[in-house]
Amino acid sequence: MLRTEIDGIKIDLDEKMSILEAAKKAKINIPTLCYEDGLSIYGGCRLCVVEVEGEELLKPACATEIKAGMKIKTHSKKVRELRKNLFELIIATHNIDCQLNCLTCSRASNCELKEIAEDIGVSKMRLEPIKRGDSVDNSSYAVIREPEKCISCNRCIRKCEEIQSIGIFTTANRGPETVVTTFKNRGLGNVECTNCGQCILSCPTGALHELYQKDIVLDILNDESKHVVVQTAPAVRIAISEPFSNQAGDIATGQLITALKRLGFDAVFDTNFTADLTIMEEGTELIERIKSGHRLPLFTSCSPGWIKFIEHFYPEYLDNLSSAKSPQQMFGALAKSYYAREKGIDPENIVVVSVMPCTAKKFEAKREEMAGDVDYVLTTRELASMIKSAGIDFLNLEKSEYDELLGVSSGAADIFGTTGGVMEAALRTAAEIITGTELKKIEFEKLRGLEGIKKAEIEIDGLKLKAAVANGLGNARKIMEMIKAGEEFDFIEFMACPGGCMGGGGQPISCDDNILEKRQKALYKIDKNKKLRKSHENPYIKKLYDSYLENPGSEIAHKLLHTKYKARKI
C-alpha cells in the first residue's frame, strides 16, 4: 500500500498510478489539456504540473507516478501563478484576434480552453497573438481543419495512430514552426484519411470539425419547389438530446421527429427502415456465400470509415465486403425511386438529407459509385445546432412518429447504432430463414458489450457460424491481420468508430462520463421495448419487396441497393 498526501488530504493507494489519477481519487481536479483518457501520455501542455515537496521543479501530474510518502500540492500559489502564465502562452497561439472568433467557432458552446481558463482563474492576457498564417484545410468532404486554432496538443495524432491505427496526422518541423499536419501538408482529402472524425472528438479546440452543410440545408428547406425528406440514423436518437441536457443515454426519438418537422422537412423518415432492408439483402448474401463457400468471410459494409480503410489498407479483401450499400445510401436510392413513385413526385425535385452520427457519411454520399442517392448529410452535432438556432425548446417538445412507408422499423435496426448490432440483427433474420423456425432467444449476449473485438461461434440448425465483431479501426486492423495469418471466420461486423455508430465522429462531444455505456444501454432499451424486433418481419419491408423490389438480391434490388468499391493508394 502506498500512503501519500495530496493538498493535505491523506490517501492510501493499492496500486501504482499517476499523480493525476490519485488526485482524482481524492476528488481534486487538476486541469489538463494534452491528456486524454485512453491515449498515451504526451506530457506537453504542462498545465497539470504540481508541486512535490522537496523538489524545486514542478512535475506533470499526468506523467509522474505517485510514490509512497510524496507530499503534493496541486493548487499552491506557485502552481496557480504558473498555470496562469502558461495559459497566456497557450491561448496566444489560438488565433485570438477577437473578430468574434469565439462566437463563430465550432466549439462556441463547449470550448475546452474556456473551461480550463475558468478552472485556473485566468484574469489577464498580456501577450500578443501569434499568427501563423495557415489556411483552412477544406480538401476533405468530411473533416475540415483550421490549423490557426490548433495548439499542437497532439490528441488527434494519438487518436488516429493509437486507436484507429491510421496515423494521417504528424507533428512536423520543430521550434516555432512546429505544427500538426498531414503527409507533406497535403490536406485531409488527399491522404489516407478514413473520414471517421474521431480526431474531432479528441480536439480540445475548434481546429477540427465536420464539413458543415447545415446552412445549405436550411436554404433548401426554404425552397418551395423542393420536396425535402430526411432520414435519421439509429444512433442519432440516443445522442441528440446531449447538447441540450448535458447528460448521455436519453432516448429522444419522438422529440427528434417533432424538431425535424418544425424545421420544415416535408417527410421525416428513418434510416432504420433501410437498416432492416440491409439485413434482408446482406443476410441473403451471407446465406448464399455460406452455401457456396465463396468469398468468406463476409464483411459488413455499412460503416463508410471502414470501407475507406479497407480500400486503402486491405484492397485485396474488397471482394469479401458485402455488396449491399449502407442503409443511408439504400434510403436515398429508394426515396428517389420507390417513394417518388408511390407519392407521385418527380425524383428531380426530391432532396434527401440524412442525419448521421458520422462524418464519413458525408464522404460516402459524395462517392461516385452512388452519387445522387443522398444530397446532404448532417451530423448529430449539426442538427443540434440547427434546432438551437431555430429556437426550438427541444427537451420539452411533444413526441411525434416517423412518417410511414420509409419510417417503420424493427428493434434489430435500432441496434445498428452499437457495435455488435448489425451482427445480431443479421443473425436474428438469417437464423430464422435458414431454419424456418422461430428463434427462442433473439438476444446474442456474446456479441454485446464494448470490447474492441468480440468473437463467437453461433450454431444455427447444426450449421456453425464463426462470427466476429470489431469496433474502432485499430481493432479492425487486428482482425484483418488474424485473417491474413490464417484464422477463419464466416461473418465479421466492422465499425470504424469505437463503440460503433453511437461513438461516431459526428456525435455530440462528450459532456458526461461513460457516454458509450449509456448510449448503448439506451439503444438496447429501444430494441427491447419494440414489438417488432426482426427485420424480416417488418411489414413495410415486405410491402416494399411485394410491390417494388420483388425479392432480396433481385435485379432491381441489385441496381438500387448494391455497389462495388475500389482499391485506393496509401
- Residue 301 or 475: the one with the smaller Cβ distance to other proteins is 475
Min dist. Cβ of residue 313 to other proteins (A): 11
Query: SS3 of 270, please?
Result: strand
- Residue 41 or 532: the one with the smaller Cβ distance to other proteins is 41
Question: Which candidate in 364, 382, 424, 493 is catalytic?
Answer: 364
Determine the distance from the C-alpha atom of residue 114 to the mean position of all C-alpha atoms in its chain, rounded to a whole number: 24
Query: SS3 of 381, please?
Result: helix
At residue 516, φ and ψ (nearest 5 deg) are -65, -45
Amino acid symbol at 513:
D
Min dist. Cβ of residue 129 to other proteins (A): 10
- Residue 71 or 466: the one with the smaller Cβ distance to other proteins is 71
Min dist. Cβ of residue 527 to other proteins (A): 38
Handedness of CA 175, 181, 187, 192 (dihedral sign): positive
Taking a C-beta distance cutoff of 8 angstroms, is the pair 358, 501 a contact?
Answer: yes
Query: SS3 of 28, please?
Result: coil
Amino acid symbol at 380:
T
Question: Comparing C-alpha atoms, which of 354, 301, 347 is closest to residue 331?
Answer: 354
Min dist. Cβ of residue 191 to other proteins (A): 7
**How many other CB atoms are found less than 10 A from the CB of residue 200?**
27
Told to judge if 67 belongs to the known catalytic residues of this protein, a careful annotator would answer: no
Min dist. Cβ of residue 60 to other proteins (A): 7
Q: Cell 486554432 sits at which residue? A: 149
At residue 346, φ and ψ (nearest 5 deg) are -65, 120
Question: Comparing C-alpha atoms, which of 252, 227, 229, 226 is closest to residue 239?
Answer: 252
The CA distance from 469 to 479, in Å, is 9
Q: What angle do CA 182, 183, 186 make, to 5 degrees?
A: 75
Taking a C-beta distance cutoff of 8 angstroms, is the pair 237, 527 a contact?
Answer: no
Min dist. Cβ of residue 53 to other proteins (A): 15
Min dist. Cβ of residue 173 to other proteins (A): 5
The CA distance from 169 to 71, in Å, is 39
Which residues here bind other proteins, judged by CB under 8 A? 41-47, 49, 56-58, 60, 63, 65, 78, 81-82, 85-86, 89-90, 92-93, 126-128, 130, 151-152, 161, 166-178, 181-184, 191, 570
Told to judge if 501 belongs to the known catalytic residues of this protein, a careful annotator would answer: yes
Q: What is the largest CA-CA distance in the chain?
A: 81
Told to judge if 322 belongs to the known catalytic residues of this protein, a careful annotator would answer: yes
Amino acid symbol at 29:
N
- Residue 171 or 349: the one with the smaller Cβ distance to other proteins is 171
Helices (DSSP H) in 9-158: which residue ranges? 19-25, 77-91, 101-104, 112-120, 155-158
The CA distance from 243 to 381, in Å, is 8
Told to judge if 288 belongs to the known catalytic residues of this protein, a careful annotator would answer: no
Question: Which candidate in 285, 311, 382, 432 is catalytic?
Answer: 285
Amino acid symbol at 385:
S
Q: What angle do CA 228, 374, 541 make, to 5 degrees?
A: 85
Min dist. Cβ of residue 484 to other proteins (A): 14
- Residue 41 or 345: the one with the smaller Cβ distance to other proteins is 41
Told to judge if 62 belongs to the known catalytic residues of this protein, a careful annotator would answer: no
Question: Which candidate in 322, 326, 410, 535 is catalytic?
Answer: 322
Question: Which candidate in 501, 518, 534, 535 is catalytic?
Answer: 501
Question: Which candidate in 112, 210, 282, 424 is catalytic?
Answer: 282
- Residue 152 or 255: the one with the smaller Cβ distance to other proteins is 152
- Burial of residue 220 (CB within 10 Å: 0-12, 13-18, 19+) is middle
**How many other CB atoms are found less than 10 A from the CB of residue 511?**
14
Cell matching residue 16? 501504482
Min dist. Cβ of residue 190 to other proteins (A): 12
- Residue 148 or 373: the one with the smaller Cβ distance to other proteins is 148
Question: Which candidate in 369, 404, 451, 487 is catalytic?
Answer: 369
Question: Which candidate in 150, 302, 358, 497 is catalytic?
Answer: 302
Cell matching residue 353? 438529407
The CA distance from 210 to 233, in Å, is 17
The CA distance from 167 to 194, in Å, is 10
Query: Is the omega angle on the peptide bond into residue 234 within 30 degrees of 0, that is, cis?
Result: no
Question: Which candidate in 59, 159, 361, 534 is catalytic?
Answer: 361
Check residue 325 and report its DSSP letter. Answer: P
- Residue 186 or 226: the one with the smaller Cβ distance to other proteins is 186
Do the strands 179-182 and 208-210 form a parallel or antiparallel pair, or are they unpaired?
A: unpaired
- Residue 100 or 570: the one with the smaller Cβ distance to other proteins is 570
- Residue 126 or 531: the one with the smaller Cβ distance to other proteins is 126
Min dist. Cβ of residue 202 to other proteins (A): 16
Told to judge if 404 belongs to the known catalytic residues of this protein, a careful annotator would answer: no
User: Which residues are the active-site residues?
Assistant: 282, 285, 302, 322, 361, 364, 369, 501
